[in-house]
Structure 1
Amino acid sequence: MRKSIAIDMDNVIADIESNWINLYYKEYGVKVTRQDLHGKPEDEAFPDPVAARRLIYQPGFFRYAPIVPGAQEALIKLQEHFDVYIVSAAMEFPNSLPEKYDWLHEHFPSISWKNIVFCGDKRIIDTDYLIDDHLKNLDFCKGTPILFTASHNVNVERHKRVNNWQEALQLLNSELI
């Protein structure tokens, strides 16, 4: 029987950090680096957290995020041995639903619409593995939680951690043996 993996979108396959940094600079002329974000809650890492949070609600914020390096190739490889689901807590941001769907359709065409779950709370997800960048999702994972490194979670020491898709593939391939 094939095992299942739920994979988060933001900061796991979609590079929301880079997108946010670039949009903040474009909108407010203030350059923020990834190091500036280290260990801080995402929007609080920007000089004006309220202005940064407003960017998330703008049309296009989720649609035009770059791809996390290695994500496309990794998901194709994972689909050879696992049932792969994309799971995103997308309900908080109204624009994110169609934008995330369109983004997935463009960048991950091998993921069927049947394997895309947009929800409000990931506690409902019951897969063998969950790859996510947020403890609020991983702490309640019913399977094996895997923390994908993002700037806001660099100081977190709970859960197995992977820093990139190469490490994620190595970890999951070792689980097959």
Structure 2
Amino acid sequence: MARIAIDMDNVMADLTQHLLDVYAEQYGIRVDPSALDNVPEGSAFPEGIAYKILQSPGFFRGIPVMRDSQEVIKSLSENHEIFVVSAAMEFPASLTEKLSWLNEHFPFISWRNIVFCGAKTIVEADYMIDDHDKNLSTFKGQPILFSAPHNLSLSAYRRVNNWKEVAQYFALDTVPVI
């Protein structure tokens, strides 16, 4: 039984798409998703706007679930120890929203297996699935980079582009059907 640490934002939860949708709704401007490719998160928006949106009440509670994540994580949890690890301390208001979101969308994950922290350097697991180099570069286990617009040029890690590829990586018998 392996211990797998899984990030929330842009891994379990489609933060990027939600940010684009909220920005369009609040400012009336639709940003082409390709404008986010290989640029630091938030820099495709006017200065401070992405941070302001991320700080707004309800933002983290309303993020859509990444396609196939529920089924694959449920399957993984049958043979592995799953921990959700989110560096949520930068946005303290997100803590209760993220917990509510997890309880709704991933009710099979116990509160004992949810870690909200400031830095993921404390995490000890066999695998970490994350979209950020800063979290994977210090990880002592097997890092797995989950594709997101801001990390498309990274090549230092095993990359997965979606949850079907995660299922294939861990050789799950049941790969969700689209």
Compute the displacement of 1:16 (Å).
0.2
Counterpart selection for 1:75 from 62, 73, 76: 73
Task: Give the partner amino acid of 1:76.
Answer: K
1:162 matched residue in structure 2: 160
Q: What RMSD in Å do the two structures reach over aligned CA positions?
A: 0.9
Query: Structure 1 residue aligned with 2:59, among 53, 58, 61?
Result: 61
Cα-to-partner distance string for 1:21-60 (whole Å, 9 max, x where unaligned): 01111111111122111101111022x1311221010001
Task: Indicate the residue corresponding to 1:153 in structure 2.
Answer: 151
Correspondent of 1:116 among 114, 137, 153: 114
Return 5+ residue gaps in structure 1 as ranges.
none
* Structure 1 residue aligned with 2:49: 51
Q: Indicate the SS of the match to 2:102.
A: helix
Deviation at 1:81, TM superposition (A): 1.3
Letter paired with 1:38: D
* Equivalent position of 2:176 in the other structure: none
2-side partners of 1:29 and 1:140: how far apart? 40
TM-score w.r.t. structure 1 length?
0.95
1:40 aligned partner, one-letter code? V
Percent identical among aligned pairs is 49
**How far 1:158 sits from its partner (Å)?**
1.1
1:20: which partner in 2? 19
Distance 1:7 1:49 in 2: 30
Give the letter for the 1:137 counterpart.
N
Given the two structures, how large is their TM-score scaled by the length of structure 2?
0.94
The CA deviation at 1:84 is: 0.4
Supply the distance in 1 between the matched residues of 2:3 and 2:33 (Cα, whole angstroms).
Answer: 32
SS in 2 for 1:166: helix
In structure 2, the partner of 1:4 is 3
In 1, Cα distance between equivalents of 2:102 and 2:32: 26
* CA positional deviation for 1:82: 0.6
Q: Which of 88, 102, 105 pairs up with 1:104?
A: 102
Residues 73-106 of structure 1: CA deviation (Å, up to 9, x unaligned)? 0101101111000000000001110000000000
Q: Indicate the SS of the match to 1:31.
A: coil
SS at match of 2:59: coil
The secondary structure found in structure 2 opposite 1:63 is helix
Letter in structure 2 aligned against 1:78: L
**How far does residue 162 in structure 1 lie from its aligned partner after superposition?**
0.1
**TM superposition shift of 1:173:** 2.1
Query: What runs of 5+ residues in structure 2 fail to find an aligned partner?
Result: 173-178
Describe the superposition over 1:131-150 as per-residue Cα deviations: whole angstroms up to 9, x where unpaired.
Answer: 00000000011100000000
Structure-1 separation of matches of 2:52 and 2:162: 28
Aligned length: 172
Structure 1 outlier segments of 4+, above 4 Å? none
C-alpha displacement of 1:154 = 0.7
SS state of the match for residue 5, structure 1? strand
